[in-house]
Each structure stands twice: as structure tokens, then as C-alpha cells.
Amino acid sequence: MTAKANLGALLLITAGCFALASCDRIGGRSITVEFRNAEGVRGGEAVYLAGVKIGHVTDEPAVANGKARVPVLIGLKHKDGIPSGTVFLLTADPNDSKMLCLVAYSLDSGSPRAGGAEALYVGASNKAELVLMLGAEKASKLWEEFTK
């Protein structure tokens, strides 16, 4: 192989490595968030944790057992950062008021769910659902934080 061919191959391999390292779809983590009502979710909505975009909704919800299951891809950098006690709220996107988003809030400091099988998390699309899941006092505090 000539020096020119070697350089071309090296550049191609380097570009491929950078593409893989920056692509959240490769090495990210799929989770499912289950809602009683996910009206308006179409796919592409952002997912935030502590104000940082950590992923996105990958497709429209599927209905299973009378609940809407929303498929989410958590990006590579954040794939292990969602503790098992995390709740997701469906709300207006703070960066685009015409869009919905999912906002994650960790209810405890538990460890992230183990890899392997796709993780199932709970979601709420309104304050009443949050009250049913958490109780009135905790839900009110959490709702205030979500809707700031």
C-alpha cells in the first residue's frame, strides 16, 4: 500500500471513530416510560434531567394494557444516570413552547437500573396522576419544581 493510501485509510478510520463516539444511537440506552395518557407525543420530543437534554422520544407511543408506552433513547453520555426511582413528567419543552418534552426527576438516590432488558419507568401527564403515584404532599412539591 502506498503512503497516500495509508493516509486515506487512517483518515477514514479516524472519521469513523469520531462518528461512533459522538453518535448517541450507538451505545445509548433504550427505556420505556409508561403513561396513562401520552396525548400529543409523536416522536422526537426531548428528554431532560436536571435541565440537561439526555435523550429523545424515538417513536409514537404504543398502547399496552390500557397504558401508553413511550420509547425513549437515552444518549451514550447519560445512559447509566437514571436511578430506578425516576419519574417522568410530560410537559411543554422549556426550549420550544410548541413542543412537548419529558422531564425526568429522581425520587431517590437509588442506583441506576441494571442493563440488559429494557427498563420500564413511570410517567405522569398531569398533577392528578402525580398525586395518585406519590401522594399529595410529595406530588405538589414535585409539580412545582417541574412547572417552574
* Res 92 pLDDT > 50: yes
- The pTM of the full predicted model, rounded to 2 decimals, is 0.73
User: How far apart (Å, rounded) are the C-alpha atoms in residues 93 and 102?
Assistant: 8
More confident residue, 8 or 42: 42
Residue 97 phi/psi, 5-degree rounding, is: -65, -15
Q: State mean pLDDT over 64-72.
A: 94
Contact 32, 71 (CB under 8 A): yes
* Res 73 pLDDT > 90: yes
Amino acid at 111: S
pLDDT at res. 20: 45
Reduced DSSP (H G I as helix, E B as strand, rest coil) percent helix, strand, coil of the chain, to 5: 30, 35, 35
**pLDDT tens readout for residues 107-143:** 765 555 554 456 889 898 887 888 887 777 777 777 7
pLDDT at res. 13: 63
pLDDT at res. 5: 54
> Directed axis angle between helix 127-134 and helix 136-146, to 10°?
140
